[in-house]
Structure 1
Amino acid sequence: MKLVLKKSDTPVSEKLNIYTRNVPCLDAAWHYHKEFELLYISQSNGIRFVGDSVAPFFPGDLVLVGSYLPHLWRNDPSYYENESTQKVQTIVTKFTGDFLGNDLFQIPDFYGVKKLIEDCKLGLSFGKEVSKHFHKDIMELPKLSSTEQHIRILSILHRLSLVDKKSRVVLSSSDMRQSTTESSERIDTVLKFISDNYASSISLDDISNVACMTTNSFCRFFKKMTNKSFTQFLNEIRIRNASRILVQESLPVSEVCYIVGFNSITNFNKQFKQIMGATPKKFREDI
């Protein structure tokens, strides 16, 4: 994989593009584009990368991605098996900042929507409790006429702008928006390798070889591209996947520990509490 500037699938004249995706992964590469993107996961789960954020996604996941912010949704490995019958359904809405005209959001009455669009530069997640109130309106979007879509999206953005800040999560901890079209095959290859092999033992030498770099050069490169060390990033992917398993299945915590790639239950508990704010047992009890 490589980080790429992705052009819209629709003609340049179109500033609003809404469609349903029914295939795994959603995108083949960690990418960015000039359009803002609202993604609603109706069916499927996996891991999403938005800027330097790594988190599991579930049915009901609703995320607003800012312009030029790198992102990638990857389904669980089981979705890519030849005989998989698991269903995927995502409503994707891409729009430019001027999809309703150049100056509309400068009008004081639309200040809330303008502020929402500014705030999503780091990515915003609204989650199930909020998204359930938008489910019907979002699921109908692809079936509407162009005029109705424009009106509906404006309404959805307005309602999202009114959501209490406590009910939304800022995803990326740093501004990783891309301002150039220069791509990086290395980070794309590395992210795919980690996503596909996080449950196995991955040493710094292993991942440096994947990137075709020395370990020192790789560490500097990875920190620059993701704002995290390789170990920190790998632990986060493992813990986020563990949290998903704890939510969806009734496996013992000790078994989940080894499934996601940890060799020590003590270290697993320590990393889980550090990243998720609670021990695995407490996390499961509080769901």
Structure 2
Amino acid sequence: MSKVISFQIPKTGKNFVQYQEDRGKHFYNNLHQHPQCQLTVILEGRGQLLVGDYVGRFQSGDVFLLGESIPHVFRSDAEYFEEGNNLTIAGNTIFFDFQAFGRSIHEVDEFRELIHLNEQINGCFKIEGKTKERILELFQDFPSLSALTKFQRALHMLSILEIGSDEVISLNRIPVLRSLSERDGKRMDQVMRFILENSARPISLDEVAEQAYMSKEAFCRFFKLRTRKTFTQYLQELRITEAKKLLLETDLGIAQVSYQVGFQTLSHFNKTFKSMTNQTPKSWKKLN
């Protein structure tokens, strides 16, 4: 188990397949990593998904595939953390531990495709279309299966995932940097939490660098190496992601949305939105 951020996967010895159900008020909200590849179905809940250079959203019905040792967080929306709310989350995950095979995985010809697939899963992928439908079917009654049947079904799931196809879509523009050290992992988690919790107001580089206990120059290098984006680019992407949510789900005007997600002027919001979507906020809302 990685030491980056504490995250416990059910310990079942040296099993290739491990199954986990998440139920509660919110998803595990620390940036974390583990040596297993994972296939996650979101049954209930919504929020922001952060993986490498990807800043996006998740909601009920989504299916994601993440590679091994890749830092990520499914961060439930702020309302899930408010006292007295009746919101709940639910998600099912299958973890694939390729390390459980040991050296034997390289000695069995039939496993060559499995090795190749694992190498291709370098980042986060969203599963869509017929592939998603099939994956959801294969998740049905999974906990009640025998160990051998679970193993067979897990291999079947992996066999239908065509990485890079129109139905297994890479969410990362560049391969994700794997395996943060414990120290860097804690720093990144602290920084991500601070950005997420304060993105609706102006955040200075001095403030965020202070969260990592670094000089501005050192922080800029640190952050870009791990997200492949500058702090400003990352913050703007978070804000535009939140703006899309508000445009779709509320009756707020564009100026109100702009202010609520942290932009100081409407013109800056419009310019940033168009640069990221190739559409104005108004036209994007109409099309969605």
Using a 3 Å threshold, how does the CA distance of structure 1 residues 221 and 181 change in structure 2: closer, same or farther?
Answer: closer
**Aligned residue in 2 for 1:165:** 165
Q: Which amino acid aligns with 1:39?
A: T
Match of 1:20 in 2: 21
The CA RMSD measured in Å over matched residues stands at: 2.8
Cα shift readout 1:244-263 (whole Å, capped 9, x = no counterpart): 23333343333222221112
Cα distance change, pair 230–24 in 1 and its aligned pair in 2 (3 A)? farther
The gaps in structure 1 that reach 5 residues or longer are none
Q: Is the 8 A contact 1:52 1:226 kept in 2?
A: yes
Please give the TM-score of this superposition, normalised by the length of structure 1.
Answer: 0.86
| Cα distance in structure 1, aligned partners of 2:261 and 2:51 | 21
Local SS of the residue matching 2:214: coil
Task: Work out the number of aligned pairs and report it.
Answer: 284
Counterpart of 2:80? 79
> Residues 42 and 234 (structure 1 numbering): CA distance in 2 closer, same or farther, change over 3 Å?
same
User: 1:176-227, CA deviations, whole angstroms, 9 ceiling, x for partnerless residues?
Assistant: 0127565442221111111122112211122122222222222222222222
Question: Structure 2: where are the runs of 5+ without partners?
Answer: none
- Tell me the distance in 2 between the aligned counterparts of 1:105 and 1:166: 32
Which residue is 1:227 aligned to? 228
The 3 A distance-change label for structure 1 pair 201 and 48 is: same
Q: Spell out, residue by residue over 1:147-199, the C-alpha distance to the aligned partner (whole angstroms, 9 max, x if none).
A: 332222222222223x7712332223233012756544222111111112211
The answer to which of 12-21 and 93-102 deviates more is 93-102
Dislocated runs of 4+, deviation >6 Å? none
For residues 19-98 of structure 1, the aligned pairs below 5 Å read: 19-97=20-98
The answer for the alignment partner of 2:126 in structure 1 is: 125
**SS of the counterpart of 2:161?**
helix
Q: Percent identity?
A: 27
Q: Displacement of 1:60 after TM fit?
A: 1.7
Matched-pair contact (CA < 8 Å) for 1:37–1:92: yes
| Superimposed CA distance per residue, residues 36-71 of structure 1 (whole angstroms, 9 cap, x where no aligned partner) | 011111111100111221111111221111111111
Query: Relative to 1, partners in 2 of residues 1:276 and 1:11: Cα closer, same or farther, differing over 3 Å?
Result: same
Question: C-alpha distance in 2, partners of 1:16/1:75?
Answer: 26
Find the counterpart in structure 2 of residue 270 from structure 1.
271
Question: In structure 2, do the counterparts of structure 1 residues 186 and 271 end up closer, same or farther at CA, with 3 Å as the change threshold?
Answer: same
